[in-house]
Amino acid sequence: MLTIQAPGVKSEDLRISYEDDILIVDADTEAEHGRLSFKRQAKCPNADPTTAEAKHENGVLTVTLKKLPPREAVYIKVGDAQIPDGAQDDENDAPYTLTVAAPGVKPSDILIEASRTTLSIHGETSRGQSSFSIHRTYKLPTNVNVSAAIATHVDGLLSVRLPTRPAEAATTITIHKAEKEAEAEAEAETKELSTKTVEEEVKENSWLAEFDTLLEDLAEMGFEDGESNRAALAKHSGSIKLAIKELVMNRRA
């Protein structure tokens, strides 16, 4: 769980993404005293960005990421043949190659273990009164494909070839509005809709206040059937012109 102070920043101006074990939060917004920009980064290994949750309330951004179980270590077998040269069309896809001197150590005695972030090499061989050993630990780049690594031990040189994997696309994390903010917006929308409905109803039925006057006007024009007059006015929402037209057509019929 990460908490980031972001006062004066609107929720819609915050951008959150997760890429290569790095959580990135940045914003660019118009604040009260000018433009406000900031960027924060935090390393979060073994995190699941697909189920991440983010909330922004009272100027504080909280991001919660579930932890994934650590990846199992990969053991790289050491062979005694030269690593073949592999042609790479794209320089960005070229593998990493590590060469370490390990004279006197048998290939079968060398144990290479690769985790998500480190590569460890340990080996020891005894010959008579002599003992030969190798112990090394290296930090691995994030784009290494350890499951496809190969290693050879030839003429006292240990070579480890570590292919790269395609870069993972950044995962965007959506900010969920706080309950109070969501309730306030819902209440405002309901109030606006309710006000609009009342206004429309008043506007549509405003002619009802003049209903009796309209009936008197129709009576003076010779339309003496009060019931028919009422029906015609109601049908045409108080439009006396349309009511007269219908009454005339009914009379002719």
167-218 pLDDT per residue, tens: 778 888 888 765 555 565 566 666 666 555 555 554 555 555 666 787 888 8
Work out the end-to-end distance of the chain between its first and last CA atoms, rounded to an integer number of angstroms.
80
Domain closes at, from 41, 68, 95: 68
Residues 242, 216, single domain; the answer is: yes
Strand order, beta sheet including 118-127 = 74-76, 110-114, 118-127, 130-139
Residues 142, 89, single domain; the answer is: yes
pLDDT tens across the length of the chain (253 residues): 999 988 888 888 899 999 888 999 998 888 777 788 889 999 988 899 989 999 988 889 999 999 988 888 899 999 887 766 654 445 556 899 999 999 999 999 999 999 888 999 999 999 888 999 999 999 998 888 988 999 999 999 999 999 998 877 888 888 876 555 556 556 666 666 655 555 555 455 555 566 678 788 888 888 888 888 888 888 877 788 888 888 888 888 7
Query: Would 195 be classed as within a structural domain?
Result: no
Residue 212 sits in a domain of what CATH number?
1.10.8
State the pLDDT at residue 188. Answer: 63
Domain closes at, from 101, 134, 162: 162
58 contact partners, CB below 8 Å, separation of at least 6: none
Residues 78, 156, single domain; the answer is: yes
State the pLDDT at residue 87. Answer: 43
- Name the residue among 62, 171, 162, 151 with its Cα closest to residue 108: 151
State the pLDDT at residue 88. Answer: 47
Domain closes at, from 162, 188, 215: 162
Q: Tell me the residue range of the domain where 220 lies.
A: 205-252
Query: Would 24 be classed as within a structural domain?
Result: yes
125-134 pLDDT per residue, tens: 998 889 999 9
In angstroms, rounded to a whole number, what is the distance separating the alpha carbons of residues 242 and 226? 16
Query: Would 193 be classed as within a structural domain?
Result: no
Residues 142, 220, single domain; the answer is: no
Total number of domains constituting the chain: 3
Query: Would 199 be classed as within a structural domain?
Result: no
Residues 78, 154, single domain; the answer is: yes
In angstroms, rounded to a whole number, what is the distance separating the alpha carbons of residues 133 and 57? 58
Query: Would 177 be classed as within a structural domain?
Result: no
3-state SS class at 14: strand
Pull the structure tokens for residue 45. 């290994």
Query: Would 194 be classed as within a structural domain?
Result: no
State the pLDDT at residue 89. Answer: 42
- Name the residue among 113, 111, 112, 116 with its Cα closest to residue 144: 116
Buried/exposed code over 181-206 (b: 16+ C-beta within 10 A; e: otherwise): eeeeeeeeeeeeeeeeeeeeeeeeee
Query: Would 99 be classed as within a structural domain?
Result: yes
Residue 56 sits in a domain of what CATH number?
2.60.40.790
Residues 54, 81, single domain; the answer is: no
State the pLDDT at residue 41. Answer: 93
In angstroms, rounded to a whole number, what is the distance separating the alpha carbons of residues 230 and 147? 87
Residues 61, 78, single domain; the answer is: no
Could you list the beta-strand ranges (E) of the chain. Answer: 2-5, 14-19, 22-31, 34-43, 47-57, 60-67, 74-76, 78-79, 96-101, 110-114, 118-127, 130-139, 150-154, 157-162, 171-173, 175-177
Residues 62, 80, single domain; the answer is: no
Query: Would 200 be classed as within a structural domain?
Result: no
Residues 8, 41, single domain; the answer is: yes
